[in-house]
Amino acid sequence: MQGEYLDERDNFLSDDGMSFSRPLSVSEINGFIKEMFDTVPVFRSVYIRGEISNFKNHSATGHFYFTLKDSASSVRAVMFRSYASRVRFIPENGMTVVVHGRISSFERDGQYQIYCDSMEPLGVGALWAAFEQLKKKLAKEGIFSEEHKKALPPFPKRVGIVTSASGAAVRDIINVLGRRCPLCEVLIYPCLVQGEGADKTVIEGIEYFNTQRCADVIIIGRGGGSIEDLWAFNSEMLAYAIYNSEIPIISAVGHETDFTVADFAADVRAPTPSAAAELAVPDMSSAVSFLKKSENSLYALMTSYISLKRQSLEKLSASRVMSGPTAYIDEKNMNLLRLSERLCAAAESSGEMRRTKLLALARTLDGLSPLSVLRRGYSAVFGDGGKLVKRASDVMTGEKIKIKTGDGDIGAVVTETVNIND
């Protein structure tokens, strides 16, 4: 229907062109307004500055729908997926942006809006805004946490490098590694470091070294450049790959003042590729110097220790026990004999004292013994059950009793009991 209304506008307008010649339908007036927007050149390319509100990212289509407003007015806006996919940051409500596009009317509703084909944050580049947004998101997820970062191995045997095989960065890294640690093996995984899909090749390099377990530390990076040149290292997926790597990763992207998401996610950030190589391996010349100093210190300590032990040995050799062992042994034998004699005399004296005491106790016990009483002419009477008879009433007439004397027993039968108390 494009061009229909303007081609037939003579049917719409009066002879003076200042009014409509007849009543118009809603579709006709909306179509006329749309044609006016679409044919006026100034509306085909316009920049609008405003604050985003009512933002909606339609997940099914990928289109952006939002409103641009200022303190007094607002205008509806739409950005279709083909253009929205090129926006480097995530639009948010309250963000002031500058959009470019064409103004037209949606004929069905009769509302005009701007159809955007680009969007930039006001006062900051889109890439920088995207960088800040992604950094904030990953920091919240703990991707940059210090607790997760792994320590670099002190003496790595193999260093994996993920970078361009033809760039200056790889040559700098190899030169530094060769100078500092010639025995360390260097493995290079060539990848793209700039442009579309470069981040995926860096991720593939990290995954390769982790899968093959053929490196003790990994260096990723490239030389300096603009934020656009370094953008591959601001990839969200690359940050996750670095975080999940079991091998420590050193990030060396750009120059000292350049920072990327990969730098924050890595276990160690190096200001330059050359600095990354210095961090990755020890300086063997310094290590050799340290070992030499340690060797000298150890030699001095051992010499001093041996000297002290020699002096102790000489002192021991000069002692009496070593110079005249027979006399020393004879002297000790004499001391042993004297001690033995004293011990025997003490034992004999102690035994005699205990023997005398034991005899005295035996005499005392013998005097208290019932048998001793019986030997003096007394007797003991036991009833038929073997119970000692203490009273006449303890036995009965006709009961058999036993009379125990000092030299034997007498059997008897009770014929009569007399109680002297009666």
Lookup: tokens for 304 = 């001093």
Give the sheet arrangement for strand 409-413, strand by strand. Answer: 380-382, 400-404, 409-413
Q: pLDDT tens digits for the chain (422 residues)?
A: 444 444 454 455 555 555 666 677 777 777 777 877 777 788 888 899 888 889 998 878 889 999 999 888 889 999 999 999 888 788 888 888 889 999 888 777 778 899 999 988 876 566 777 788 888 889 999 999 999 999 999 999 999 999 998 888 899 999 999 999 888 999 999 999 988 899 999 999 999 999 999 999 999 989 887 777 888 898 899 999 999 999 999 999 888 777 889 999 999 999 899 999 999 999 888 777 888 889 899 999 999 999 999 888 888 877 766 766 777 787 888 888 888 888 888 888 888 888 888 888 877 877 666 666 666 667 777 887 778 777 877 788 878 888 777 678 877 887 887 776 65
Residue 166, Cβ neighbours under 10 Å: how many? Answer: 9
Secondary structure class of 240 (helix, strand, coil): helix
Q: Are strands 111-121 and 96-106 parallel, antiparallel or unpaired?
A: antiparallel
CATH architecture assigned to 146-282: 3-Layer(aba) Sandwich (3.40)
Query: Are the C-beta atoms of residues 46 and 100 closer than 8 Å to each other?
Result: yes
Per the document, the length of the chain is 422
Query: Are the C-beta atoms of residues 146 and 139 closer than 8 Å to each other?
Result: no
Kindly report the CATH class assigned to 4-129. mainly beta
pTM of the model: 0.51
d(Cα 6, Cα 278) in Å, to the nearest integer? 72
d(Cα 401, Cα 382) in Å, to the nearest integer? 6
State the span(s) of the chain assigned CATH 3.40.50.261: 146-282
CA angle 324, 330, 335 (to 5 degrees): 130
Partnered with residue 400 across adjacent β-strands are 413
24-39 pLDDT, tens digit each: 777 777 777 787 777 7
Residue 95's alpha-carbon distances to 9, 122, 128, 138, in angstroms, are 42, 8, 14, 20
Query: Are the C-beta atoms of residues 12 and 93 closer than 8 Å to each other?
Result: no
Question: Which residue is it, tokens 């007015």?
Answer: 73
State the span(s) of the chain assigned CATH 2.40.50.140: 4-129
